[in-house]
Structure 1
Amino acid sequence: QEVIGRWEQQLFDLKLERQKLLEDFPSYNNPDSNVLQVLALKDVKQLLRPGQALLSYFFTESELYIFSVEPSGQFQWRKWNLPADFRERVRSCIRYLWDKQEYGKEPFLQTAAELYANLLGPDCNRMGESVSSLIILPDDVLMMMPLETLLTAPPSSNKPNWRDQQWLLKKYNVSYGYSATLLREQKQISRQNAVKTAGPKHVFGGFAPTYTQSGQYQLQNTTGMVKKVQSMLGGDVWTKEPDQEAIFKQESSNYRVLLLAMHGISDAEHPELSQLLFGDPQTDPVNNNILYATELQIMQLQADLVVLSACHSGFGKLETGEGVYSLARAFAAAKVPATVMSLWLLHENTAPALVESFFSYLQHGKTKDEALRLAKQDYLIDDQNFELTHPFYWAGLVAAGDMQSMELSDPVPHWLWYVLVGIMILLFGQYWIRQRSS
């Protein structure tokens, strides 16, 4: 009775504190305010397109709670008591993916199959063939693990090759999110962008800086990549301009899709200092070609998609309950509803093929997650890439946010509509005069 009495008193005190907070900050209880309202479970279904399910993970020290929402809106949850070495095994997989060495392949594949059996298998088996796409809301060590590299079946042989494995990639379109609430906001931003009358003027803008000074490695194939995407979508690219940071700040709001092919530097200890290098350093203290995450997140971008072909753009500081603070997260803060980012170093010969294929599928109406999956599958089955099919080469690029398909054609300029209307009036006038004359 004494313990129950203490709990009741604590509950009473908390209710009083909550009431005082609502009185001091009334906007938190106002659904029409700009304060982000936490998404109710019953509304999660609205985030899902047909055939898409959501899986959310929550860790305690010794347990993992897995919550799933099916396309029908049905909610399920389960608990898994974590093995003592679980986190270290996941970290070992991540280190192996980063390292791109063949040594240790069999242990990695075995662990990838075991992780699938515990992290996704029961849920995917229950949902069956009706689900073809997964939204993953990861937590803890899973934040840096691309789950597409898990195996839905045991390794294929005693001496397996990489491309014959039953990767999760081969069965599901996979995308990631920071939270269901933020995902709802990102979808709302996409819808608002679609109806803007004064939105971006062009579809595509690409940046691929040239590095000439010592200490900056010149990236290979990035110029060709942005020009190849430009040939598909139109728009503009910048490759040799010395002041690309200044150009980006001035021009980026004019494009619905941005491709940034450049050096990225992640600072896991101070994520606000993570940076994109837009070229050789400049003397201008404001536009010195080093764009920090803190600058990014306050920019007024209007892009529907940013593709970061930049190393470690999805890597950063892991904050419990908040996720990873990275360059990609800075773009989400800048109201960009979808990003494609890299969890580790990008290979300069393989990343362009993946990015170009991704945009090709996107141009043909695929959703962003499906476009990325198909690009990776094409890469794996291409015999030219047989020696480079270790997951390091293809699994690092992941997609986050709103995965809806995009209409990738430049809008007709307003002045052209006036010209067309004028021509029609002129033709009608000539026709009317001829009719009167006859």
Structure 2
Amino acid sequence: MIAVKKETAAIYELIKGNYLYNNEVNTKAFFNSFENSGTLHISTHAYLSGVNKEPTLDFGKEKLFLFELLARRNKPNPIVLSACRTGDGQLAKGEGVISLSRGFSAIGTTATIAGLWNVNDETVSQIITNMNKFLLDGQSSGQVLHLAKLAWLNTNQTADAIYLPYYWDSLILMGTNNPVLLQATTNKVYWCAAIGALIGVVLAFIYLRKQGKK
């Protein structure tokens, strides 16, 4: 889970929001966030469980199943499912693939970003971080996913095999390709530097003014 922690820390530095970690996360907390969020980002384990291959999010001591989404009223947009196989599920005749991503779409979420297979944690962490950087520029969810993948492909990796699509192409957009409005986190280092520079300018002005009087 080291990559997940890195992903969370990077997003925390970029995006203002409410963050839940480790033991803070359970089904009650999830549904509270679901009902009160404009966008929702989920980084956890996910898989297909049971004989019916039920799409499942793993919250440690608790699990969230696809059918539990049906009664939800709020519709965050987009929902980013930074987890394995969230776009995978049982193929139902006449229905298609019954996945977590489809479950969110069924209740009215207009866009989800989900993983088709078991994701590489380190790679997805980097792609998701880049996605959020591009989202702050006002670009659409599909465009930022595309740009984030390109940015990753243009970064030096530890081995040539890691450039195979298995490592970087599991995440897909399902739904509408619209801009996402996010609020950037205030960068304290930036503001401290700006204030320091302003103080320097003021002191220089005072000094020059005194020199002029002499």
- In the superposition, the TM-score normalised over structure 2's length comes to 0.79
Aligned-partner Cα distance in 2 for 1:263–1:342: 11
2:103 to 300, 314, 330: 330
Asked which structure has the greater RCO (Cα within 8 Å, sep 6+), the reply is 2
1:354 equivalent in structure 2: 127
Report the 3-state secondary structure (helix = DSSP H, G, I; strand = E; otherwise coil) of the residue aligned with 1:383.
coil
One-letter amino acid matched to 2:126: A
1:274 aligns with 2:47: no
Q: Is the 8 A contact 1:268 1:315 kept in 2?
A: no
One-letter amino acid matched to 1:253: E
2:167 equivalent in structure 1: 393
Q: Is the 8 A contact 1:277 1:290 kept in 2?
A: yes
1:403 aligns with 2:177: yes
1:233 aligns with 2:15: yes
Q: Is the 8 A contact 1:344 1:396 kept in 2?
A: yes
1:223 aligns with 2:5: yes
One-letter amino acid matched to 1:265: Y
Deviations 1:323-342 (A, max 9, x none): 21001111112221100000
Q: Alignment identity in percent? A: 26
Report the 3-state secondary structure (helix = DSSP H, G, I; strand = E; otherwise coil) of the residue aligned with 1:384.
coil
Q: Is the 8 A contact 2:78 2:180 kept in 1?
A: no
One-letter amino acid matched to 1:275: T
1:366 equivalent in structure 2: 139
Report the 3-state secondary structure (helix = DSSP H, G, I; strand = E; otherwise coil) of the residue aligned with 1:373.
helix
1:290 aligns with 2:71: no
Alpha-carbon offset, residue 358 of structure 1: 1.1
RMSD after superposition: 1.9
Aligned-partner Cα distance in 1 for 2:51–2:177: 30
Alpha-carbon offset, residue 302 of structure 1: 2.8
Q: Is the 8 A contact 1:238 1:244 kept in 2?
A: no
Q: Is the 8 A contact 1:338 1:399 kept in 2?
A: yes
One-letter amino acid matched to 2:30: F
Q: Unaligned stretches of 5+ in structure 2?
A: 185-214
2:34 equivalent in structure 1: 252
1:382 to 128, 134, 155: 155
Report the 3-state secondary structure (helix = DSSP H, G, I; strand = E; otherwise coil) of the residue aligned with 1:237.
coil
Alpha-carbon offset, residue 362 of structure 1: 1.5
Q: Is the 8 A contact 1:299 1:334 kept in 2?
A: yes
Report the 3-state secondary structure (helix = DSSP H, G, I; strand = E; otherwise coil) of the residue aligned with 1:241.
helix
Q: Is the 8 A contact 2:84 2:116 kept in 1?
A: yes
Alignment of 1:1-400 (within 5 A): 219-267=1-49, 270-271=52-53, 273-279=54-60, 281=61, 289-384=62-157, 386-387=159-160, 388-400=162-174
Alignment of 1:408-419 (within 5 A): 408-409=182-183
- In the superposition, the TM-score normalised over structure 1's length comes to 0.40
CA 1:268–1:358: 2 relative to 1, 3 Å: farther
CA 1:259–1:385: 2 relative to 1, 3 Å: farther
Q: Flag the structure with larger Rg.
A: 1
Report the 3-state secondary structure (helix = DSSP H, G, I; strand = E; otherwise coil) of the residue aligned with 1:264.
strand
One-letter amino acid matched to 1:308: L
Q: Is the 8 A contact 1:365 1:407 kept in 2?
A: yes
Q: Is the 8 A contact 1:268 1:317 kept in 2?
A: no
Alpha-carbon offset, residue 231 of structure 1: 2.1
One-letter amino acid matched to 1:305: P
One-letter amino acid matched to 1:408: L
Q: Unaligned stretches of 5+ in structure 1?
A: 1-218, 282-288, 411-438
